[in-house]
Structure 1
Amino acid sequence: MNIKKISIPLAIALLMFPQLIETMYSPALTSIKNHFAVSAENAAQGLSIFFMAFAFGVVFWGRLCDVIGRRNSTLAGLTLFIISAIFTYFASNFDLFLFGFGSCAFGAAVGSVCTQTILRDSFEGAELAWLFSIAATSIGISPVIGMLIGSWLTSHGDYTWVFAAMILLVALLFIWSSIQLPETKPENIKRDSLLFVANKMIRDSHIWYITLMIGLTNIALFSYYNIAPFMFEQLGASVKFFGYTGFVLAIGSVLGSLINIKLIRCKINSDFIVFIATVLMIISGVGVYLLQHTIWFFIPMALISLSFGLTLPNLLSTALTNYRDHLGSAGALLGLSYYLIIGFGLDLVASVGSLAITLLACGSCCLLLVCSKKFIATTQQRNAQTQTN
């Protein structure tokens, strides 16, 4: 295996960039709505389209990682993003705008699947969980950066300023990756068909659990970016105020990741950590429900971010331990599954239009999944002991 490893700053930058792009876009929703004369619900469709296109991008680039390598796939995806963002910048109508933004998402998927594959090539076990926690801490800052940049650009210009900034940022990331990104693809990697890997994963209950948990956790977090801009608009708050709320979410996410690192070092069971995170999600939903008619409803969202920082590293680090022979393809299929759930979920969220209901529903479903997993594991353990005796 190629022992050359990616630098942690570059890995973090690549992992951050899709979420940075998404959160830069969110403050521009009201500008997009007004420019193209569409409804708030139609404007919010961009986020659901982003995740759906992102899902198919994850499959494409993840598979390509196993074919042409991790480095070449990443550079190709970044190039596609830049071209798509330029197209979106000049889009003359809303349909072309959505097509361009979807293409941006397709290219941005390399930041998730290719970088995770590169990390899994080089690390495993507790070390990988620790790295994902470090990454989650850094990613937790990206909403602040994205929302501040997006809100500032939107308030001083319009949504086109946001896309111009995206083009510049990703162009710089492309140059950095061209210089420093290593190729970590193992020489003896298996070239099983995507259908073979998919068949194996479909029959894996652990994969289903991971997929649903990641999907629901992301829906809970990103529903804020989907609904909150219009809630603040109705309450008379400015787009800049929405941008500043990102600090609260970032504090929660960073705290969650730092707490998770401490718990990992203390060898606390990951399932217990995830259980605590789901309880926090439900508490956050109750808080948002109580405060939804005031501008302070964003404060309980810190618990959602904290829950996100606790949950995601523990899910991602254990997701593909049985698929090390085809990490690119398995990571692609896993990503396709949970990003489709996120995309369809956010589309439903835009129709419902209630942040509190969304958080309570996601938290309740996650709690049910965690308890079901524990019950099944306990039952299997008892049956095994009975058979042994």
Structure 2
Amino acid sequence: MKNKISTPSLLLLIILVGFPQISETIYTPSLPDIANSLQASSNMIQLTLSIYFLGFAFGVFCWGRLSDSIGRRPALLWGILVYGVGSLGCYLSDSAEWLLVSRFIQAFGASTGSVVTQTILRESIEGAKRHAVFAQISAALAFTPAIGPLIGGWIDQSLGFRAVFFTLVVMSVAIFMYTFVSLPETRVSKPSNINTLSVAKRLVYDSKIWAFGFLIGTTNGIIFSYYAEAPFIFIEFFHMSPGMFGFFGIFVAMSSIFGAMFSKKLLTRFPAEKIILIGTTVTAVGAVLFTGLAFYGMSPSVIFLGLMVVCIFILLLGIGMAIPNCLSLALINYSDVLGTAGAIFGLGYYVIVSLITSGMSYLHNDSLVTMPMYFLVLATIMVLVSKKIVKHETR
């Protein structure tokens, strides 16, 4: 008989999974300002987003392993503490190099919110209900990347970019206190004799894990490559203020929210694997339209801006449909070693996120065509991988 597992409140789970995303995007409206203030190139400053995911990848591995040995609650609390130290470092940084180091530390700590919270969800909820809960949380989380630029844009416009990082220091204290007071321990018993290499071998020889890891990493890579590149397009090309750019992000985020909600409804008619294929296909269609619009080219008018928003909306709508189902299905066969498997799996797909965002930083050249073409190539590969997943399930 299974021991009863305590499940934290939905609000706490959303906060724990969401604060790393807010931390990633809150300063994106400040990127041009940071580049000027620290006398660094735009490409160098964009790397602060890529380094975040590299730190996140290593953090996911470490906190996932620790959550199996010391418990979910201690792993989360220690991670939030490290996140606060990194946020303070960002606030005090006086060069691009120190900002890169601080962002790595910040991400290393923040990653506990992703891997440990997902472990809690996977071990406390089963079956179709788990797919629905992941979709519900994904719908809420789709909004968090937009909250970041909204808050950060107005803070930067009013108080400067350093005030944005100080906000994250305050946020780390608040989240630590809320977690300390409200989070129960959900690990029923300490797993015995878990061999990390053995678990890694299981994952490496699992073709589905490779497919889901690629899809999760690539979809997140597209989202955060957009947040890395968009400020230079909308603030410099369309001459938006940082505050207006932050407000504009809400409309973009609605697409991912609708995608997650639509995915939840489709679960009553289609298997999760089929919905992943539908989602990646929608993303590819959006990328085709976006690329065509960018090649056509127009002056920075309201019409051009509106058409660009429509293309981005379609592209992210598909991502919102695919992500929750990938997350829910990925580790379904690893319930005996969830913490360790989640740590290794997370390390893999966050390395992919880091590589994709690094690619966007490397390709940045002030052209409107670069980002949509990059997304089109990635979306095409995603559709091919999704087809293989569906084909595997229908055998």
**TM-score, length of structure 1 as denominator length:** 0.94
Tell me, what secondary structure is at the counterpart of 1:5?
coil
**1:148 aligns to what?**
150
Q: Identify the match of residue 305 of structure 2 among 281, 295, 316.
A: 295
Q: Identify the match of residue 373 of structure 2 among 357, 360, 367.
A: 357
> More deviation in 14-23 or 237-246?
237-246
Q: Distance in 1 between matches of 2:60 and 2:373?
A: 29
- 1:2 offset after TM fit, Å? 4.8
Is 2:282–2:315's contact at 8 Å kept on the other side of the alignment? yes
Is 1:51–1:343's contact at 8 Å kept on the other side of the alignment? yes
1:201-212 mapped onto 2 (5 Å cutoff): 201-212=203-214
Matched, 1:344 2:355: yes
Is 2:138–2:260's contact at 8 Å kept on the other side of the alignment? yes
- 1:308 offset after TM fit, Å? 2.1
Over residues 28-49 of structure 1, what are the superposed CA-to-partner deviations in whole Å (9 max), with x where a residue is unaligned?
Answer: 2112101111111111000110
Unaligned runs of 5+ in 2: 298-303, 365-369
Q: What value does the CA root-mean-square deviation take over the aligned residues?
A: 1.5
- 1:147 offset after TM fit, Å? 1.2
What is the one-letter code of the residue matched to 1:366? M
**1:275 aligns to what?**
277
Over residues 336-382 of structure 1, what are the superposed CA-to-partner deviations in whole Å (9 max), with x where a residue is unaligned?
Answer: 0000001011101111232101220111001111223334555xx3x
What is the one-letter code of the residue matched to 2:388? S
**1:195 aligns to what?**
197
Q: Distance in 2 between matches of 1:5 and 1:331?
A: 18
Is 2:5–2:187's contact at 8 Å kept on the other side of the alignment? no
- 1:244 offset after TM fit, Å? 2.1
Unaligned runs of 5+ in 1: 382-389
Q: Identify the match of residue 325 of structure 2 among 281, 306, 314.
A: 314
Is 2:139–2:256's contact at 8 Å kept on the other side of the alignment? yes
**1:227 aligns to what?**
229
What is the one-letter code of the residue matched to 1:120? R
Q: Identify the match of residue 344 of structure 2 among 322, 333, 341.
A: 333
> More deviation in 144-153 or 182-191?
182-191
Q: Distance in 2 between matches of 1:304 and 1:267?
A: 23
Matched, 1:244 2:247: yes
Q: Distance in 2 between matches of 1:184 and 1:2?
A: 9
**1:114 aligns to what?**
116
> More deviation in 359-368 or 285-294?
285-294
Question: Percent of pairs identical after alignment?
Answer: 34
Matched, 1:13 2:15: yes
Q: Size of the alignment, in residue pairs?
A: 378
- 1:188 offset after TM fit, Å? 5.3
Tell me, what secondary structure is at the counterpart of 1:4?
coil
- 1:290 offset after TM fit, Å? 3.5
**TM-score, length of structure 2 as denominator length:** 0.92
Is 2:277–2:390's contact at 8 Å kept on the other side of the alignment? no
